[in-house]
């Protein structure tokens, strides 16, 4: 691992929407970064735009090992195991992070290979319904939440053990990378992440697909009448089916819980509509309140004319490794807050 | 009623998001138009911008009667009865259309007052989560579907009776108004409209509220991680609760049917996720297919670089009153097509 006064280069494995956009942002921020993609056409497009990219995984990983790079695993869930095997074999001393949308199975794969002391998980809450290098673009992560996991430190603390400096440095470098991508680093433990994204990311995908089908069942007239509310609510059903399935299926336990709440609310709504005088007050009032709160928290409202967008997330300025820092991470996590490091 | 070579002025009752935007578009198109709003501040804002507006309903309706104007009922569902009573009393010879989002209760209110020979229903499939004159803007209806109902003609035809010229002229004028607002006129019978919008408009509102609540139940961490997919899918929960309730509750029968399909699909998804190997293939594949079809049908895809946006709806050029024209309307309705008149 590199000494602390040298910038650790970043090697991104997978140059799709997320990995490709990260490469663009890091290079724009002046951070040394290069990538691998299995897509030869994606590699060629990246190289043509002046980026350092290869479609040779061995080459990328031996360079990463030589550079003491931070490796970012930016492949779909189904390719995580093979990628970690390759990293363990060919880049045995590199720090590892990832951008996969479910954290429990990734952390299990990390632990199965004994890599946890070299791993800090990540997940940027940003994306579009498109995929591949061609969909990548600078600024995708601007002001987005980017989860950074700290289970390893929390587990050691709980066991009364010291968190190694090497891991603390890795954590700091991952946070720096996130801030270089102009995102906000949100400390979160793996299980809490998966429970939260089941509600705010995977459930929206299930509902988008369901609504698409029910709308489609209405035939050409219904489709012709579908406007903004329907199109916005079904947009993410346009995401590649394999990507949607991978995130929902690998987070099934948490997603089932969120689905049960959803089905219960819809049954109550159905009952309210079946009364002699249909009355949706309860659902609509509580939904509207929740939506208004979310809008207020996520900063400037659409109608605002102010050009200044400031983050609405509470911020903790943190010295990784300092006294009580893991407890501070947990407190920030409870608030959905972001961290900055010094 | 005015003779056919004179442009019939348009009197809009209600200058909220829809009525206000229509007034802007009609005036921009050079069509004589004026409006009433119960909101004195809305009236003042409209007048300040150079529009003819009053907050005196009697005055608006007597002017409409004098002008032989076409009256557009652009009030919330709950104010329809009182508005129709006022029209029946003070503008007894004017043609009537409306922009209310559910058509069965409006048509029942029309029939209860014996106004059906003077009525052609309408519903523009456009809007935002905001309301009031301040939210109105030119171009809101550009390329939007605007339903135009023809039950009266269909009922007469079925009974072997002639459709009066007076109604045919009214139908033509409503279509002309829609085209002046740059929208697309979609002929639809009342019951078919309500069944379709239950799927593509009212169900999305129920799901947006439900998702807002389930996301909110995840606490501050989940809310902090909520990104594009969640925000887009919950946007319309931000609509005024009373407006949401009015449209869902007044279309409860059709909405319950759409809800039952939804709950069934979600229960199937839950079962698929509970298997030893979770598998969402069926829902995701069918949802993705439906969404892709919708996107293809609604014209240029987001990625398209073509600046030319052409309507993807089949078009029927129609002569209202011509032989077989009501049958042609029904055929166009089955295709979700639009009409132009000559």
Nearest chain B alpha carbon to A236: B229
Query: How close does chain B come to A310, measured CA to CA in Å?
Result: 14
Q: Tell me the DSSP string of B22-63.
A: HHHHHHHTT--EEEE-S-HHHHHHHHHTT--EES-HHHHHHH
Residue A237: closest C-alpha in chain B: B288
CB contacts of B203 in chain A (<8 Å) are 211, 214-215
Can you tell me the mean pLDDT for B117-144? 93
- Chain B residues whose beta carbon lies within 8 Å of the beta carbon of residue A142: none
Of the listed ranges A246-255, A303-312, B27-36, B74-83, the one predicted with least confidence: A303-312
What pLDDT, on the 0 to 100 scale, is given for residue A297?
75
Contact criterion met (CB < 8 Å) for B259 and A273: yes
**Residue range A35-56, pLDDT digits in tens:** 999 999 999 999 999 999 999 9
Q: Which domains does chain A have, with CATH numbers?
A: 10-188+310-341 (3.40.50.720), 194-279 (1.10.3660.10)
C-alpha angle B160-B165-B169 in degrees, rounded to nearest 5: 130
Burial class of residue A6 (count of CB atoms within 10 Å of its CB; 0-12, 13-18, 19+): exposed
- Whether the predicted pLDDT of A1 surpasses 80: no
- The per-residue pLDDT for A130 is 81
Phi, psi of A70 (to 5 degrees): -90, 125
B262 touches chain A (CB under 8 A): yes
Minimum-distance CB partner of B125 among A200, A227, A255: A227
Contact A200 B192 (CB under 8 A): no
Distance CA A57, CA A11 (A): 11
- Beta-carbon separation of B192 and A252 below 8 A: no
Q: CA nearest A280 in B: which residue?
A: B245
Minimal C-alpha gap between A217 and chain B (Å): 9
Chain A CB within 8 Å of residue B144 CB:
yes
* Chain segment B217-267, per-residue pLDDT in tens: 999 999 999 998 999 999 999 999 998 999 999 999 999 999 999 999 999
- For chain B positions 242-261, those within 8 Å of chain A (CB to CB) are 244-245, 248-250, 252, 255-256, 258-261
Contacts of B262 in chain A (CB under 8 A): 210-211, 214, 266
Q: In what side-by-side order are the strands of the sheet with B10-13?
A: B53-54, B33-36, B10-13, B70-73, B95-98
Indicate the pairing of strand B33-36 with strand B53-54: parallel
Closest CA to A131 of A50, A73, A76: A76
pLDDT in tens, A135-160: 999 999 999 999 999 999 999 999 99
Which of A121, A136, A117 lies closest to A26 in space, CA to CA?
A136
- Residue A147 C-alpha, separation from nearest chain B C-alpha, in angstroms: 8
B89 in reach of chain A (CB within 8 A): no
Q: Which pLDDT belongs to residue B300? A: 40
pLDDT band at A309 (very low <50, low <70, confident <90, very high): low
Q: What is the DSSP string of B141-197?
A: TTT-EEEEE-HHHHHHHHTTPPPPHHHHHHHHHHHHHHHHTT-EEEEE-HHHHHHHH
- Give the model's pLDDT for residue B262: 98
What lies within 8 Å, CB to CB, of B304 at 6+ separation is: none
Identify which of B24, B239, B80 has the alpha carbon closest to the alpha carbon of residue A228: B239
Q: Which of B291, B293, B301, B334 to mutate to test the interface with A (most CBs of A within 10 A)?
A: B291
Report helix, strand or coil for B330: helix
Q: Cα separation of B242 and B304, whole Å?
A: 38
CB < 8 Å to B220, chain A: 334-336
Longest dimension (CA), chain B: 73
Distance between A59 CA and the closest CA of chain B, angstroms: 34
The tens digit of pLDDT for each residue in A231-281 reads 999 999 999 999 899 999 999 999 999 999 999 999 999 999 999 999 999
Calculate mean pLDDT across residues B47-71.
98
Residues 191-230 of B with CB under 8 A from A: 192-193, 195-197, 199-201, 203-230
pLDDT of residue A311: 76
DSSP state of A280: -
B305 has a chain A CB within 8 A of its CB: no
Cβ–Cβ < 8 Å for B99, B146: no
Q: Is A296 on the interface with B (CB under 8 A)?
A: no
Yes or no, beta carbons of B207 and A207 under 8 Å apart: yes
DSSP type of residue B315? E
Task: Give the strand pairing for A145-149 and A122-124.
Answer: antiparallel
Contact A259 B270 (CB under 8 A): yes
- Cβ contact, residue pair B291, A226, below 8 Å: no
pLDDT of A119: 98
The reply to whether residue B218 touches residue A199, judged by beta carbons under 8 angstroms, is yes
pLDDT value, residue B309: 56
Residue A338 φ/ψ, nearest 5 degrees:
-115, 160
Q: Closest Cα of chain A to B58: distance in Å?
A: 32
User: With 90 as the cut, is the pLDDT of residue A7 above it?
Assistant: no
Confidence of residue B304 (pLDDT cuts 50, 70, 90): very low
8 Å CB contact between A131 and A243: yes
Instruction: Determine whether the interchain pair B221/A196 forms a contact, defined as Cβ–Cβ distance below 8 Å.
Output: yes
Asked if B216 and A290 come within 8 Å (Cβ–Cβ), the reply is yes
| B312-325 per-position pLDDT tens digit | 899 999 999 999 99
Cβ of A221 and B249 within 8 Å? no
């Amino acid at each position: 691992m590199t000494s602390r006064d040298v910038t650790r280069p970043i090697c991104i494995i997978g140059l799709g929407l997320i990995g490709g956009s990260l490469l663009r942002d890091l290079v724009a921020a002046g951070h040394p970064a290069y990538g691998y993609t299995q897509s030869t056409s994606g590699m060629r497009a990246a190289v043509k735009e002046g980026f350092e990219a290869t479609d040779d995984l061995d080459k990328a990983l031996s360079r990463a090992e030589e550079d003491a790079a931070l490796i970012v695993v930016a492949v779909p869930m189904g390719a995580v195991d093979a990628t970690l095997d390759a990293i363990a074999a060919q880049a045995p001393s590199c720090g590892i992070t990832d951008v996969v949308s479910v954290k429990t199975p990734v952390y299990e794969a990390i632990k199965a290979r004994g890599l946890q002391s070299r791993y800090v998980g990540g997940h940027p809450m940003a994306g579009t319904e498109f995929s591949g290098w061609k969909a990548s673009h600078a600024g995708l992560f601007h002001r987005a939440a980017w989860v950074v996991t700290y289970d390893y430190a929390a587990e050691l603390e709980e066991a009364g053990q010291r968190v190694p400096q090497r891991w603390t440095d890795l954590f700091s470098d991952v946070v720096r990378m996130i801030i270089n991508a102009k995102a906000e680093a949100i400390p979160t433990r793996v299980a809490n992440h998966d429970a939260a994204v089941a509600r705010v990311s995977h459930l929206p995908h299930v509902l988008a697909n369901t609504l698409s089908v029910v709308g489609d069942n209405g035939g050409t007239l219904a489709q012709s009448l579908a406007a903004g509310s329907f199109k916005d609510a079904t947009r993410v059903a346009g995401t590649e089916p394999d990507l949607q399935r991978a995130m929902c299926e690998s987070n099934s336990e948490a997603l089932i819980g969120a689905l049960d709440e959803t089905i219960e609310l819809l049954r109550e709504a159905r009952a309210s509509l079946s009364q002699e005088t249909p009355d949706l007050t309860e659902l609509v009032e509580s939904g509207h309140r929740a939506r208004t709160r979310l809008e207020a928290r996520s900063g400037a409202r659409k109608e605002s004319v102010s050009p200044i967008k400031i983050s609405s997330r509470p911020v903790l300025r943190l010295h990784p490794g300092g006294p009580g820092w893991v407890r501070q991470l947990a407190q920030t996590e409870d608030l959905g807050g972001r961290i900055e490091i010094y």
